[in-house]
Amino acid sequence: MRKTAFGLILMLLIAASPLLAQSPHFVSASAAGPDSDGDLRVSFKEAGLGSNVLINYLASANATATYACINRGGNNPQASNKQTVAGPVGTPGTFSSGKNGQINQSLTISPPSPGKFSCPGGQELVLADVTYTNVTITDTTNNVSATIPGTFSRTFFNF
């Protein structure tokens, strides 16, 4: 009986050892953009996840975007035909760690919406500029985050 109990305990410890060895952490995190649509691409690599585990992520940032109205000639006919919106933005995603316990992926964050701002007839609503700050990638499954330093901006139209 004593050998059986010892064997059972040993088997439980061996089975649990991969779980104890897991230590989720970001190996790298970076951001690129904004691209021609004003989107920011957040790329990351996380390790120490265990094999074939689904992990939930949130790429987030504070963003400021200016929207404007332009006419067919590409000009902004009125300086007052602009609106700046600011606030938190984010994109969730779920990925599998595969057999190596790592995830190497990216998520795309879009600018804040212009809301109900619209243009008069004959004019088109455009994104004039966008800026992202406080960019973070968070593994919401394991409550692990990485902050990406810097300010990421792009101007499309100068008014």
What is the per-residue pLDDT across 1-15, written as a single tens digit (0 to 9) for each?
555 444 444 444 444
Give a yes or no: residue 40 inside a domain: yes
Give a yes or no: residue 81 inside a domain: yes
Identity of residue 99: K
Under a CB-based contact definition with an 8 Å cutoff, are residues 109 and 65 in contact?
Answer: no
Give a yes or no: residue 5 inside a domain: no
Give a yes or no: residue 88 inside a domain: yes
Give a yes or no: residue 13 inside a domain: no
pLDDT, one tens digit per residue, over 76-132 is 555 568 899 999 999 999 999 989 999 999 999 999 999 999 888 888 899 999 999
Give a yes or no: residue 2 inside a domain: no
pTM of the model: 0.82
- Strand partners of residue 153: 131
Give a yes or no: residue 8 inside a domain: no
CA distance 147 to 49: 19
Average pLDDT value for the chain: 87
Size (the chain), residues: 159
Structure tokens at 141: 């499954």
How many domains would you assign to the chain?
A: 1
pLDDT, one tens digit per residue, over 37-90 is 999 999 999 999 999 999 999 999 999 999 999 887 656 555 568 899 999 999
Structure tokens at 34: 């904004």
Q: Is 79 buried (19+), middle (13-18) or exposed (0-12) by CB count in 10 A?
A: exposed
Distant-in-sequence, close-in-space partners of 19: CB < 8 Å, separation ≥ 6: 50
The rounded percent of the chain whose pLDDT value lies above 90 is 69
Structure tokens at 44: 């990351």
- How far apart, in Å, are the Cα atoms of 24 and each of 13, 17, 68, 97, 105? 21, 15, 43, 11, 15
Domain extent, residue 89, equals 22-155
- Strand partners of residue 131: 64, 153
Give a yes or no: residue 122 inside a domain: yes
